[in-house]
């Protein structure tokens, strides 16, 4: 990312899609997308577009390869068959052009979670549409989107926050329910340990028995 977009932000979001949807990063997708967001290499409006793409997409997004990847001389394979009647030989118009080359890229749940959190940070009023979207995607993606709402819950109005927490607390996904309960019922801070020296402070002094002849 730095090599290509440190001084050229144009197209940075499209470049970011590649590592974010690469299976080699499947165990670190959440950390990677946060690092890309924090790097400043992708402008804010492109990050918003990226978030909307991950929220609106189905199981996959489709990435179009740059046309210049395929520029250059054509590759001709010689099959050694000179039979003019061979049906393999097909004359194509000289001006025939291939269509774009498109790759399907998986949208994993951490991307949905980040995207939902990003959407709320950009527009807190979008929380209702995000809840509706979470109900219409697959269960793992829906839970991830709700988790993103929890990540940015402090930006919601009190009423909206109560609704989101109540929904998350009853969502079928166990980890999401646990996260909502932790926000609704934060654990009480543990009492500070009492040291022996602290315990004796303020305690009444005791008399030490003295040796006696009686």
Long-range contacts of 22-28 (CB under 8 A, 24+ apart): 22/105, 23/106, 26/108
214 band by pLDDT with thresholds 50, 70 and 90: very low
70 band by pLDDT with thresholds 50, 70 and 90: low
Average pLDDT of 89-109?
Answer: 72
In the predicted model, is pLDDT for residue 58 greater than 90? Answer: yes
192 secondary structure, DSSP code: P
The pLDDT score that the predictor gives to residue 63 is 76
In the predicted model, is pLDDT for residue 209 greater than 80? Answer: no
Most confident of 22-31, 100-109, 148-157, 179-188: 148-157
Cα torsion 36, 19, 5, 99: sign: negative
135 vs 155: CA distance, rounded Å: 22
88 secondary structure, DSSP code: T
Tokens of 155: 């930006």
pTM for the model: 0.72
Q: Tell me the backbone φ, ψ of residue 102, rounded to 5 degrees.
A: -120, 135
pLDDT in tens, 128-183: 999 999 999 999 999 999 999 999 999 999 999 999 999 999 999 999 999 999 99
- The neighbour count for residue 143, using CB atoms within 10 Å, is 24
């Amino acid at each position: 990312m730095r090599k290509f977009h440190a001084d050229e932000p144009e197209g940075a979001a499209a470049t970011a899609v590649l590592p974010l949807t690469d299976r080699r990063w499947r165990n670190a997708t959440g950390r990677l997308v946060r690092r890309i967001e924090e790097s400043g290499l992708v402008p804010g409006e492109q990050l918003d577009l990226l978030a909307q793409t991950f929220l609106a997409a189905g199981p996959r997004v489709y990435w179009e390869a740059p046309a210049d990847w395929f520029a250059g001389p054509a590759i001709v394979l010689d099959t050694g068959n000179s039979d003019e009647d061979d049906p393999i030989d097909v004359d194509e118009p000289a001006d025939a052009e291939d269509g774009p080359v498109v790759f399907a890229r998986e949208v994993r749940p951490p991307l949905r979670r980040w995207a939902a959190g990003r959407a709320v940070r950009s527009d807190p009023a979008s929380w209702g549409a995000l809840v509706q979207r979470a109900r219409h995607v697959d269960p793992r993606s829906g839970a991830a989107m709700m988790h993103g709402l929890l990540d940015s819950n402090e930006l919601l109005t009190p009423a909206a926050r109560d609704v989101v927490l109540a929904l998350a607390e009853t969502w079928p996904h166990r980890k999401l329910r646990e996260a909502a309960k932790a926000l609704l019922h934060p654990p009480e801070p543990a009492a500070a340990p009492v040291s022996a020296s602290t315990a004796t402070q303020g305690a009444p002094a005791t008399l030490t028995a003295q040796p006696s002849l009686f």
